[in-house]
Amino acid sequence: MYYGFWEQLAKPMFVLAPMADVTDSVFRQIIVKYGRPDMVFTEFVPCDGLCSKGRDNLLPDLQFVEDERPIVAQIFGAKPENFYETGKLIAQLGFDGVDINMGCPEKSVVKQGAGSGLIRTPSLAQEVIRATQEGTAAGGKRLPVSVKTRLGFSSDEFKSWVPALLSMKLPVLTIHARTRKEMSKVPARWEQVKEIVELAKGTGTYIIGNGDVTDLTDAQRRVEETQVDGVMLGRAIFGNPWLFRRDGYIPSLSEVLSVLVEHTNLYESTWGDTKPFDLMKKHYKAYISGFPGAHELRIQLMGCKNAHGVTQVVEAFLARSQQALNIERAE
């Protein structure tokens, strides 16, 4: 069993979930600056694509800066030979670890036999893990290989599925507490995560739980209830880069909008024309809610075409808000 950096992290671990079209390097840089989690993952990247002529188009998804460490590249696919080659590449790129996605429920992914599709083929899943482990070593840097998965495909299968994974001597196994069939339509079933913690006892594998966690207080409660070694938080991070701060810090509105502008400028300066500016706009709804004038401000920002326009709109909003506050105080 090779733990790599995982062994050095304080337990329980609180980590940022990998999210497609969200957790790119720019997003992660903002998060680690304002509320650093114990570690971060990339968006998931297809092994098949990385082993094709389209590799160069996917490499930006594996871009990172030193301040993001420890950082793990998450990959998906169903062909062991491509996991081997991708493992080599990830080692050469200097990542701290590799995580294999065996939980994505999307039809296009499952159709390939990848993501949660691998739950239906445990022997292939084991081959994929073994190939990745061997690939990283061949790339010149042995890396810890972890897995993120679900309770099962159509029903709870963890009593047979999880032992098949644990037999591969994984340093870490993350469990999304739903089946593939359930998607995110039902509450996460943490009582099943507790059972998996019991299954993993004596194997040396750390178990991370995932699903419906709202903040660090909630995460700590999950640890106490299930004895997991860590908790992964995903959707709760939207609009709240301070989520992982241990002091319960609550930012002012001007701070939130300042970070929105910083995030936008970093997005534009990093990606330029390589990624559409409209992808950045998905964050605005999360940043801008719950205060007077939020709806109107959001509409204005959605019409912006670049970071300069966003900066102007936000500065004008803050100036109007300050003016209104001064008038109120004068009265």
Residue 142 belongs to a domain: yes
Q: Do 79 and 8 sit in the same domain of this protein?
A: yes
Residue 246 belongs to a domain: no
CATH code, domain carrying 201: 3.20.20.70
Residue 210 belongs to a domain: yes
Specify the pLDDT at position 13.
98
Query: DSSP label at 100?
Result: E
Query: Residues 174, 177, 181, 186: is their CA dihedral positive or negative?
Result: negative
Based on the structure, what is the number of domains in the chain?
A: 2
Q: Do 259 and 225 sit in the same domain of this protein?
A: no
Q: Do 143 and 216 sit in the same domain of this protein?
A: yes
Q: Do 38 and 160 sit in the same domain of this protein?
A: yes
Residue 193 belongs to a domain: yes
Query: Residues 249, 250, 252, 257: is their CA dihedral positive or negative?
Result: positive
Which residues, listed in sequence order, are joined to residue 232 by a DSSP beta bridge?
A: 15, 210
Q: Which of 178, 212, 237 is the last residue of a domain?
A: 237
- The b/e string for 140-172 (b: 16+ C-beta within 10 A; e otherwise) is ebebbbbbbbbbbbeebbbeebbeebbebebbb
Using CA atoms, how far apart are residues 107 and 170, in angstroms rounded to an integer? 27
Specify the pLDDT at position 177.
97
Residue 84 belongs to a domain: yes
Specify the pLDDT at position 321.
79
Q: Do 194 and 257 sit in the same domain of this protein?
A: no
φ and ψ at residue 263, rounded to 5 degrees: -60, -45
Letter for the amino acid at 270? T
Q: Do 55 and 188 sit in the same domain of this protein?
A: yes
Residue 305 belongs to a domain: yes
Q: Do 271 and 139 sit in the same domain of this protein?
A: no
Specify the pLDDT at position 323.
58
Q: Do 259 and 110 sit in the same domain of this protein?
A: no
Which residues, listed in sequence order, are joined to residue 101 by a DSSP beta bridge?
A: 148
Q: Do 275 and 228 sit in the same domain of this protein?
A: no
Q: Do 25 and 107 sit in the same domain of this protein?
A: yes
Using CA atoms, how far apart are residues 71 and 127, in angstroms rounded to an integer? 24
Q: What is the mean pLDDT of each run of 10 residues along the chain (331 residues)?
A: 96 96 95 97 97 94 97 98 98 97 96 97 98 93 96 95 97 97 93 97 97 97 98 95 93 95 97 92 92 94 96 94 51 43
Q: Do 213 and 259 sit in the same domain of this protein?
A: no
Query: DSSP label at 191?
Result: H
Nearest CA-CA partner of 275 in 27, 101, 79? 27
Beta-carbon contacts of 310 under 8 Å, excluding residues fewer than 6 positions away, are 260, 261, 264, 301, 304
Q: What does R_g of the chain's alpha carbons equal in angstroms?
A: 21
Q: Which of 205, 237, 269 is the last residue of a domain?
A: 237
Specify the pLDDT at position 139.
84
Which residues, listed in sequence order, are joined to residue 97 by a DSSP beta bridge?
A: 72
Residue 276 belongs to a domain: yes
Q: Do 35 and 160 sit in the same domain of this protein?
A: yes
Residue 306 belongs to a domain: yes
The pTM of this model reads: 0.94
Active site residues: 104
Report the interhelical angle of 190-200 vs 158-166 (nearest 10°).
Answer: 40
- The b/e string for 295-323 (b: 16+ C-beta within 10 A; e otherwise) is eebbebbeebeebeebbebbeebbeebee
Nearest CA-CA partner of 144 in 170, 168, 162? 170
Q: Which of 181, 206, 237 is the last residue of a domain?
A: 237
Specify the pLDDT at position 327.
43
Q: State the residue range of the domain holding 94.
A: 4-237
Query: DSSP label at 18?
Result: P
